[in-house]
């Protein structure tokens, strides 16, 4: 860490030059103390930006590949040393959704009481057979199973909407299966049905103001063919 000359205030420089010119600077202990005192006062007022910091910050980013209807799309990223590109199948879908919900943190609880990496409400967890929220928060494996089970339930409940609205355009958004299931994670199957059947006129939002249409657009075009709809899918807790 170095103090640059230009960082010393002009008033301190003027005092030092004056004292040098008067030939007192090295001839009097009291003058040396006085100069040190002035320098100390001004240096302690420096901010961290006044110093040259040679530390290196990590240059790591999480990049998830947002699918597009345009094939062979090339996205150029510069000045990035470490990155992760997620696929356009179930893994990419769930990790992208988790990043939006909680930045992928398993142990987080938001201000409205939603839990974990995928921000589940307590009532949804109970439907999935989970009642111990403390264990849920501390168990990544359980959270992953809960997300899979919930997607299976929603895919079964929304099978008609997925078949009927897939590829249709509502409010400028091309509806897709993954967009529907992401929106159901946000607003529930009922909220998605209301939005689609009203042609986008009735839209539910979460407590932070994020609407169904936002998730329909953001999480469109992932391939979730590996997920099989199941009416009463639950988590098997051992």
Gap between the Cα atoms of 29 and 154, Å rounded: 82
State percent of the chain over pLDDT 90: 59
pLDDT for residue 221 is more than 90: yes
pLDDT for residue 129 is more than 60: yes
Give the tens place of pLDDT for each residue, 54-107: 333 333 344 444 444 433 444 444 454 444 556 689 999 999 999 999 999 999
pLDDT for residue 17 is more than 80: no
Query: What pLDDT is attached to residue 207?
Result: 79
The two structure tokens encoding residue 202: 């009735």
In this prediction, residue 237 has a pLDDT band, given cuts at 50, 70 and 90, of: confident
| More confident of the two residues 63 and 221 | 221
Q: Can you tell me which residue has the tokens 């960082």? A: 7
Q: List the alpha helices (DSSP H) in the chain.
A: 10-21, 29-43, 90-102, 122-127, 133-138, 140-157, 159-165, 177-197, 212-218
Q: How far is CA 23 from the centre of its chain?
A: 62
The two structure tokens encoding residue 63: 């990049």
In terms of C-beta density within 10 A (0-12 exposed, 13-18 middle, 19 or more buried), how is residue 181 classed? buried
Domain over 90-218 is classified CATH 1.10.530.10: yes
Intervals of CATH 1.10.530.10 along the chain:
90-218
Cβ–Cβ contacts within 10 Å for residue 19, how many? 17
| More confident of the two residues 140 and 53 | 140
40 phi/psi in degrees, rounded to 5: -60, -45
Residues linked to residue 170 through DSSP beta bridges, in sequence order: 173
| More confident of the two residues 80 and 122 | 122
Query: What pLDDT is attached to residue 39?
Result: 43
CB 99 within 8 A of CB 84: no
Gap between the Cα atoms of 28 and 50, Å rounded: 31
136 phi/psi in degrees, rounded to 5: -60, -45
Give the tens place of pLDDT for each residue, 153-199: 999 999 999 999 999 999 999 999 999 999 999 999 999 999 999 99
pTM, two decimals, is 0.65
Average pLDDT over the chain, rounded to an integer: 77
Query: What pLDDT is attached to residue 88?
Result: 81
Q: List the alpha helices (DSSP H) in 28-176.
A: 29-43, 90-102, 122-127, 133-138, 140-157, 159-165
In this prediction, residue 14 has a pLDDT band, given cuts at 50, 70 and 90, of: very low
CB 158 within 8 A of CB 181: yes
């Amino acid at each position: 860490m170095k103090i640059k000359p230009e960082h010393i205030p002009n008033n301190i420089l003027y005092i030092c030059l004056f004292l040098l010119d008067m030939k007192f600077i090295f001839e009097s202990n009291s003058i040396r103390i006085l100069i040190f005192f002035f320098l100390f006062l001004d240096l302690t007022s420096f901010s961290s930006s006044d110093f040259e910091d040679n530390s290196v910050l990590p240059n790591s980013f999480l990049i998830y590949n947002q699918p597009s209807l345009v094939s062979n799309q090339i996205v150029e990223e510069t000045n990035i040393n470490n990155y992760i590109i997620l696929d356009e199948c179930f893994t990419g879908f769930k990790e992208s959704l988790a990043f939006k919900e909680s930045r992928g943190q398993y142990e987080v609880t938001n201000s409205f009481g939603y839990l974990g990496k995928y921000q589940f409400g307590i009532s949804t967890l109970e439907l999935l057979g989970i009642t111990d929220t403390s264990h849920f928060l501390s168990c990544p494996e359980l959270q992953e199973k809960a997300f899979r089970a919930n997607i299976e339930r929603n895919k079964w409940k929304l099978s008609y909407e997925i078949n009927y609205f897939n590829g249709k355009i509502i409010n400028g958004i091309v509806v897709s299966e993954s967009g529907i299931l992401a929106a159901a994670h946000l607003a529930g199957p009922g909220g998605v049905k209301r939005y689609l059947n009203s042609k986008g006129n009735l839209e539910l939002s979460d407590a932070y103001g994020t609407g169904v249409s936002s998730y329909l657009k953001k999480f469109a075009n992932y391939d979730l063919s590996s997920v099989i709809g199941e009416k009463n899918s639950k988590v098997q807790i051992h």
